[in-house]
Every structure is written in C-alpha cells, then in structure tokens.
Structure 1
Amino acid sequence: MPHKRAKSSVRRHIRNEKGTDLAPVKSSLQNEPIPKSAARILNAHSIREEWKQRKRKNEEEQSGRDGKRRKTGPADKKATLTIQPGESIQHFNKRVEDDLRPLIKTAVETSRATHRRTETQEKEAKAEAKKAKLKTKSVEKSRKSRSPSPEPDKHANRPKEFASASSSAPKRLNDIAQAPPEFKRLPRGASSSAGVLGKKDGVLSMSQQLMMEKEREKAIARYRELKASRRQASAGDKLGGT
C-alpha cells in the first residue's frame, strides 16, 4: 500500500542511487525569499539612487513648462502605479492615493461648479418666468379696467316727447287729437264741494296712480293707432276713387 513506509533495503538502495553532497533544491532554506522589510534595508542604497534620478528627471521636464505639473501618459502612469520590489501593500496603496488625490480633487471641484451653474440657471429661468407671468397679468388687468367706449345713440336727434299743441289754438273740423282731453276746470253746474268730497272718498295709492298712468298711456297709444289706420284707409279710398 502506498501509505506504508518502504523497507530498509529499498530505502538504502534509493539513497545510494542519489548519492551525497548534491546541489540544494528549490525548496531548500538557502532559496527561501528574504522578508520585504529586510530587503528594503539591504536595497536602501539602490532605491535612494533610483528616487534621486527620477526626481532629477521630473525637475528637468518641468523646468520648460513654467513649473506646471507634467501630464504623464498612460504608459508612465502604469509604470508609477506598479508595486516596487520590496514595497509593502500598505505603502503601495498610500502612493496610489497620493497620485490620484489631485485628480479626485479636480473632479469634485468640477462637479461642484457644474452644480452651482445649473442652480443659477434654474433660478434665472424661474425669475424670468415669474416676470413674464406678472407682465401678462398686468396687461390683462389693464385691458379689463379699460371701459368700452359707448356707442353713439342713433336716436339722439329725434324728439323724445310728443309735440304738445296749445289749447288756445282754434279747433278745426279735420283736426286730429293727439291725446284725450284733460279737464282742469269743473264743468258748468258742477259744485266744488261735490268734487272735494269725491276726491276725499276716492283717495288712490301710489301703485294705483301708476297703474292708471299706464292704462292712460295705453289708451292714448291705441287711440293714435286707430286714427292712423283710419287716415290710411281714407287716403286709400281717395286714390281708388280717382
């Protein structure tokens, strides 16, 4: 069975075939990797020299650009963001944060400026819309306040009352009465006391007086219509006879 130990004779035969004083294998203690902290101490001189050369190179490149920060290409960024030999993950993360901090700050400032610009534009648009609304309301109010000009009266020049004929004018045979007669004096033989008593007995209210006035106007209108129809009829008879 494979998990059992081989016989001593088999083990001895294998040891003789391998021999002695052989070269160490990869898993030996000599090939074990050095800790990063120890490697950083041993390689301190080379790391310092490499950092000085990089710094001198950056200063030479920035001298011709008025001290502005040089924009590195994708290859340079990739080279600067790779972990260095003997560098711990903590130091590498810190270096990455330091490199990306200016970009994050610029992005945050740009977003804030864009947000402020958008808010300002929205406020200006709301103010303009409010001004336009107030202007339309004021125009509508002024239009409503203007009273329409009255139309000219077509019947302004026409007489509004019937022509009154003087009672002193002589009456003729063919005169046409415009209204029923009004008696301002008592007829002959009538006593003034009887009129006074009748007036006292027949006191009329304002509504009755108005009703009588309306009836009187209706009677006058009917009387005039009757007269006008009779006049037209007589004029038609005369034309037919001729």
Structure 2
Amino acid sequence: MPHKRAKRSVREQKRKESGSDIAPGLKKAIENEDIPKSVSRVLNAAKVRQEWAEKKRKGFEDDGAGPSRKRRKQSGTGDGDTAGAKQTQLRIMPGESMAHFNRRVEESMRHTVKEAMQSSSARMRQVRKEELAASEKEKKKRAAEAEERTKGRKRIRAGDELDSDDDPSPRKAKAKEAGPKDFEKISTSAPKRLNDIVQAPPNIKQLPRKAKKLAAQGGSQKDAGGQSLSDGVRSMAQKAMLEEERERAIRLYREMKKGRAAG
C-alpha cells in the first residue's frame, strides 16, 4: 500500500544511487523552515532596513525638503492610492503578532482620536462660555428690573409726600388728628407694656399698718403742736389749679414740639 514504508533494501539502493553529499530540496530550504519570530527578525534585519530606507527616501523625494509626519498625513488624505495603502497596512501581516498589529492600528488612529478629542473639548468650552454669558445677561436683566421697581416706588413715595405737604386731604388730616398725642391718657382696658408698668408712679390703695394708731394719736399731737393726716390732703381748689397748670404745660410742650418739627 502507498502509505507504507518501502523495504529496507529498496531504501538503501535509492540512497546509494542519489549519493550522500547533495543539496537539500525546496521543501527542506531554510526559508520554509518553522523558526521563531525573533530569529526571523534577526535574519531579515538587513532587508527591513533597506525597505525602510527606500520608503523614507521616497517620502523625501515626493514632499521636497523633508516634511513632518503630520504634513505627510494631510497630503495623503485626498489620494485614493494612499487610502488604499492605509487599508492594506491595517491588515495583519504574515508572521505579525496581535500585540504588534494592535500597536500599529493605535498609531494610525491616534491622530484622528486626538483631533476628535480636541474638537469635543473646544465645543464644550464654547457651550460653557455661552451658558455663562446667558446667566450673566439674565442676572443683569433682573438687577435692572429690581432697580427700576425701586426707583418707581421712590417716585411714588416722593409724589405722595409732596401731595400731602401741599394740599393735605381731609382724610389725612383726620388721621393726623386721630394719631397719638403727647401725655395722652391710656384707657385701662388697653394692654400695657412691662416698661409702662415698671416706670409708673406708685398707687397706694390701702393705708399703712400704723395709720390707725397714728390717727388715734393725732389729737394729742395736734394739741402739742404736731400735724395730723388731714393736713396733707389737698382741697378741690388746689386740685383744679394743679390740673390747669398741667394742661398748660402739656399745651406749651406740644407747641414747642410742633415748632421744632416745622423748623
């Protein structure tokens, strides 16, 4: 059967016919052997350097005096050949690891990602500036409206004061007359403040404890040249005179206060 080895005699005969010192076949060439990638990089180092030098020289010849990478990328964006070359470059190469391919893809996309980030940040800054400008404008508008309202209130108050000074209405005159006066008597039903109660003069409603004893002794003291309790009691004429004097003092005080307010 074809999958079985030939006989030993047949193999030895073929070996004698072919000889012992012969070149290896194409299948056994070193280029087709499975070798590590690090060894293949060392063996192909000269070829890689030569290809890189030719590529660099070609770029210098196309762009003149050696442009930068950014300029070369911009000049090649509108060219269909370079776009096709980029598409072919983004394919994984034979013998290339995934890590190296990912680095190459990131390198090719870095410029696009950077431009997108810059445009996005610029747009965000512009939107933020517009929002700040709108908020400042709104604040100024509110401040102007508040100031206008305050000025309107002041003008209304000034007009009311002028009207009241020039031609006071009977209602306002009545309100002024009905207002509180100095030394006005307060009714007992009205609530009193604590300060009014504290500063009020003392009101003696009951006689002291020894008043009766002193009244009993009043006759003997009067005979001896002393004074009785009835001596300190005012007469009705004295009370009327004191009331008239009080009213006159109040009237003079009010006139003096009115003159100061007018001056």
Q: Which has the larger radius of gyration?
A: 1
TM range (shorter): 0.3 to 0.5
